[in-house]
Structure 1
Amino acid sequence: MTEVTHPYLAGVDTAAAALEQIVELEPAFLPVSDQRRAVLAMRRLSTQVQAMEAMLMAAAGGVAEAEGSRDVAAWVAHRSHDSLVTTRRLQRLGVACDQRWHRLGGALVAGQVNVDQGHVIAGALDDLASAAALVDIGAEEWGQVLARAEQHLVEQAAHFGPRELRRLGERILEAVAPELAEELEGRQLADAERRARRRTLLRIQHLGDGTALIKARVPEAAALRLKTSLEAFTSPRRADGRCSTDGEAVPYDRRMGEAFCSLLETLDPARLPLHGGDATTMMITMDLAALTSGLGTATLADGSRITAGEARRMACTANLVPAVLGTRSVPLDLGHTARLFTPAQRKALALRDRECRADGCSIPATWCEAHHWQPWLLGGRTDLANGILLCSRHHHLVHDDRYLHDRMPNGDVRFARRR
C-alpha cells in the first residue's frame, strides 16, 4: 500500500529538491542584470521560507509535547544546533501572526514584508493593543483601530525598513486615530512617571580606597536636570569627548564626576530641609596642630577621614562645624559655622577676576569657586581683598600639599609641583 504524503510535506520536499538543483549552479557567471534579479528573488524567497517556518512553529506545539521539550523553539534549537534566541524569536513572530495579526502573517508568507520588519510591526501592534485600558473607547471600536494600524504598518513596509517602521509604530495612533493619540500619550506619560518614581533609588557604597560608588536610578527629568547642572561646572566639551583644563586633557566622565563634587559643595544650606535642628552641615573633628599647619588628617561625622588640607578647602565653600581638639583632645571650638562669600561678593569677584586666577587657566568666573587666600579657619577675612576665584581643579591644588603656589604681581596664582 502506497503511503500518502500530505500536500504540505510534499511541497516542502519539492522546494528542497529545487534548491538542490540551484546549489549545483555557479551564480558568478550570471550577467549583472540576471544577478540583480536573482538576488532580489532569493531575498524574497528567504523571507517567505522564514515566515512559513515561523507559522509552522506556531502550529507545531505537539512536536515539543511529544518529545518533552519546553516548546517548539527549544526542540528546533536542539535538533538544528541553532541559537535558542533565534528560534524563540521566530516562534514568537509566528504565534503573534497566527493568533493576533493575520494580515501581517499573510504579508510575510507572500514575501511582501521581511522578517525583521515583521518583528517590528508585531511589537508595535502588541504595544498598542496593551494600551486599550488607557483610552476611553469601546472594545469593537478599539478593534477597528488596531486593524487600521496593522494595515497601515504593513503598507508602509513597502517603503521603509525596520528602523523607520519602529518610529512609525511608536506614533501609529497619530496616523490611524489622531483623536485618541493625545489622550493615550498623556496617560502613558503619567504612568511612566509614576513607575519612574517607584523605581527611584540611590545607593552609596564605600570602597575603602578613599572613594565611594554612587549608583542611582532616577526619573529622566531629574537626570536631565542633574546633567544640566553638572555641565555648568565643566569646561566646554571638545569634539573628542575630552575637556581641556590648564592644558591637560581630562576625560569628560571624570570632569562630570568632579562637577558633581563641586555641585554638592556649592549647595546653599539655607535652602535645604532642616537636619538635626539646623540647616544641613558637616561636622569635622581635627587636631589644632593639623588645623594650623594644614598637615595631618580630620574626621567627618561618619568616621571617614580626610586630609587637613581638604578640610581647609571645604571651608571655603561649605558650611562646616569644626570641632577643633587640643593636645588632650579637648574641644576648643564647636558650633562656629564657617562664613561664606555672599552672593554680592561673588558678583564683585566675578567682575574683578572674570575667570580662574590660576596662571594660564581661562575657566569662566561663573564656573569658579571663591577661595580665601588666607584661610578663614586661620583668621582670614571674608572680604574681597582676601578673596580670589579659582576653578574646581585649581581650588583643589591650592589645598594640595604636593603643590607650591604663590601670587604673581598681577594677582594670578602660579603652581609648581614639589620636588
Structure 2
Amino acid sequence: MVSLMDRAAQVDLPAYTDDLLGLLMERRRAIAAAEAECALIVAELVDRQAHLELGFRSSVSLLMDRLGVSPGVARGMIRLAAALREMPCTLAALEVGSIDLGRARVLVAARESAPELFAAHEGALVDTIAGLPMSDTARVLDYWVQQAAPEQAERDAAAVHERRRLFVSVVGEMVHLDGRLDPVSGQVVITALGALTDPGNLDPADTRSPAQRRADALTELCRDRLDHGDLPAQRSERPHVVVHVSVEALEGRAGRPCELDDTGVITPEQARMLACDAKVTRVITGPGSQPLDVGRTTRVIPPGIRLALMVRDGGCDVTGCRAPRRWSDAHHVVHWADGGATALDNLVLLCRRHHRMAHEGRGSPRRE
C-alpha cells in the first residue's frame, strides 16, 4: 500500500506559494462538493429505510457501523441531509465549493429558528457568508436569527444557559477543571482573567506561558474572593483554605505529611508559604492523631502590622513586578517558625508567584 507521504512525494506540487494555495483551495472545493453529494446519499438511504433492509435498528446505527462514526456524528449527518433537501441555495453553494460543511451546518441551525423566513432570505445569506471567516459567519447568522425570530432567539439563549457546566476533580497530583459557560458568563471570566494576564502589566522577566498565567489568575481571583469577599458561611465559619501541618514540618524538620482538606498532601515548604500569612490554630493530638486540645485561633500577622506593611510596600516588592497589594501575601523573610519576628523589618509583600519562588529558593525579595 502506498502511503500518503509516498503519494505526496510523487505529486508535482507547484513551485510558487500562490499556486500551492490555489491547489489547496481547489481541493477544499472538491471536498465541499463531495460532502454535498454525501448528504444527498444519506438522505436517500434514510428515505429508503436502508437500515431495515440491512438489519440495523436505525439509520444512525447503520451509519455508525458502515462509516465508523459516533452516534452524535451520525445524527448530525442525518439532520444535515434532511435540511439540505429544503435548502437549495445552500446545497448549490456546497456543490460548487463556495461554502464548506461548517458554514452549511451554521445555516441549518439558523433555518431551524425560522424556516419560512429563512427560505425567503437563504440566497442572500449564503452570498453574504461565502467569503467571511467562520467567526463572522456565526455572528451574521446570530444577528439574522435575533431579527427574524426574537422569541426563538431568547429561547435559544436560555437553552444555552441551561447547558452551563463546571466539573472540579482531583486527578493524580493535579486538580482538573472542565466546564462550559454561556456567552455572558464566559465573557465575565475572560474579562477577569484578561485583567490579570495583560502582557502590558507583566514583569518582563515573567517566563510563564499564557496558559500558566491564566491558571494563576484564576487562583488569584478565588483567593481574593476568599480573603475579601462576602461568601456564605460554611458550618458557621467563613470559607477558608485549611492546611493540616505539624510543628516539625513548619520548623523544617521531618514530621507528619502536610495536607489540604480536598486535594491531599503538599510539601512542607508549600505549607510554610501558606503559613507566612495566615491564621493558626494549635491542635494537640494523641496517638492515632486523636485531637486532645484545640487552642485559640490567632492571626500570624496582626492587622496593624499588616496595614503598615501594605502602606510601606504598596504591592509586590520584587523589582519590575506590578502586582498590587490586594494580590500580595505578607512574607516572613525569616520564617516565624524558625524564630523570625513578625515585625516590619522581617516582612515584605510578595505576589503569589514571587512568594512561591522565594519558598522554592528561586529568588529573594528585593527592596529598592
Judge conservation of contact 2:35–2:94 (CA < 8 Å) in 1. no
Report the alpha carbon displacement of residue 149 of structure 1 after superposing the two structures with TM: 1.8
Aligned to 1:205: 170
Tell me the alpha carbon deviations over residues 317-372 of structure 1, each in whole angstroms, 9 at most, x when there is no partner.
44443436799988686332324564x866754553245333x4433334432223
CA shift in 2, pair 1:125/1:256, >3 Å:
closer
Q: Secondary structure at the match of 2:163?
A: helix
| 1:127 equivalent in structure 2 | 109
Please tell me whether residue 335 in structure 1 is matched to residue 296 in structure 2.
yes
> In structure 2, how many angstroms separate the alpha carbons of the residues matched to 1:289 and 1:74?
63
Secondary structure of residue in 1 paired with 2:159: helix
Residue in 2 aligned with 1:142?
none
One-letter amino acid of the structure 1 residue matched with residue 121 of structure 2: H
1:314 CA displacement: 0.9
1: distance between equivalents of 2:323 and 2:170? 34
Match 2:231 to one of 272, 279, 301: 272
Q: 1:189 to 1:320 in 2, by over 3 A?
A: farther
Number of residue-to-residue matches in the alignment:
328
Q: Does 1:150 align with 2:110?
A: no
Note the residue ranges of structure 1 that are not aligned, 5 or more in a row.
1-38, 132-144, 413-419
Q: CA deviation at 1:388?
A: 1.3
Cα displacement (A) at 1:161? 0.9
- The answer to whether the 8 Å contact 2:281/2:295 transfers is yes
Contact 1:313 1:395 in 2 (8 A): yes
> Which structure's CA Rg is the greater one?
1
- Find the aligned partners of 2:211 and 2:275 in 1 and give their Cα distance: 26
**In the alignment, which residue of structure 1 is the partner of 2:140?**
168
Match for residue 324 of structure 2 among 365, 369, 383:
365
> Residue in 2 aligned with 1:105?
88
> Structure 2 CA distance, aligned partners of 1:212 and 1:150?
51
Question: Partner residue of 1:295?
Answer: 253
| 1:79-119 C-alpha deviation (Å, 9 max, x unpaired) | xx999799997765543244xx2xx337746x797466485
Shift of 1:275: 2.3
Task: Provide structure 2 residue ranges, at least 5 long, that are not aligned to the other structure.
Answer: 1-24
Amino acid corresponding to residue 172 of structure 1 in structure 2: W
Amino acid at match of 1:258: D
Residue identity matched to 1:311: A
Aligned residues of 2:166 and 2:180 also touching (Cα < 8 A):
yes
CA distance in 1, matches of 2:69, 2:167: 36
Q: How far does the alpha carbon of each residue in 1:255-278 deviate from its partner, in whole angstroms, 9 at most, with x for none?
A: 333344444444227733322332
Q: CA deviation at 1:247?
A: 3.0
Amino acid at match of 2:167: L
Q: Counterparts of 1:257 and 1:107 in 2: how far apart (Å)?
A: 42
Q: Tell me the residue number matched to 1:394.
A: 354
Q: Contact conserved, 2:305 with 2:344, CA < 8 A, in 1? A: yes
- Whether 1:217 and 2:179 are equivalent positions in the alignment is yes
**TM-score (normalised: structure 1):** 0.58
Amino acid at match of 1:68: L
Partner of 1:184: 152
Q: Give the TM-score of the pair, scaled to structure 2.
A: 0.64
Matched, 1:96 2:83: yes
In structure 1, the partner of 2:50 is 64
Q: CA deviation at 1:399?
A: 2.8
State the AA in 2 paired with 1:300.
E
